[in-house]
Amino acid sequence: MSAQPIGRRRWAISAGLAPSRAIGAEPMFSSRDQLALLNTGADLANVRMRVLYAEHGPVGPYRIGVAPRRLRNLRINDLIFPEAVRLDEAYGLLIESDRPVVVQFTRQDTRARANAGLMALAWSD
């Protein structure tokens, strides 16, 4: 394994929308947006995230720690401080970390009987 951590310090996600409705048992079948944050380095990654809405001003930062050599899964619907992420509203995320991390965005939309999933890697500069 390489001694250098992989990933980037800045990421952006442009297609967020956390649906409020779901069909099926909660919480397993809750409609949700989710991030997977991977820290391959030897130090704690301090991640700061801002939510940018289409119709409202930005909110954040949300502060998230990712332990060394660990994966942290985070439901966007569960972010509540400094403000709960607004359901059913288009948003984007700006993610900044003091250490390189890898970010993956997924959506589980269970508003219909045929459950759909989407997976995409975030953009990094």
What is the domain class of 8-124 according to CATH? mainly beta
Task: Give the global pTM.
Answer: 0.83
Q: What is the pLDDT of residue 117?
A: 66
* Ranges of each domain in the chain: 8-124
Distances (CA, A) of 41 to 1, 21, 54, 73, 105: 11, 38, 34, 17, 20
**pLDDT digits over 37-46, tens only?**
999 999 999 9
Calpha distance 18→95 (Å, rounded): 17
CB contact set of 114 (below 8 Å; sequence gap of 6+): none
Helices (H) and strands (E) in the chain, counts: 0, 8
pLDDT higher than 60, residue 50 = yes
Q: What is the pLDDT of residues 67-125, one digit of tens each?
A: 999 999 998 888 889 998 888 888 999 999 999 999 998 876 666 666 666 666 666 65
Residue 111: the pLDDT is 60
pLDDT value of position 69: 97
1 band by pLDDT with thresholds 50, 70 and 90: low
Q: Which residues pair with 105 in a beta bridge?
A: 35, 120
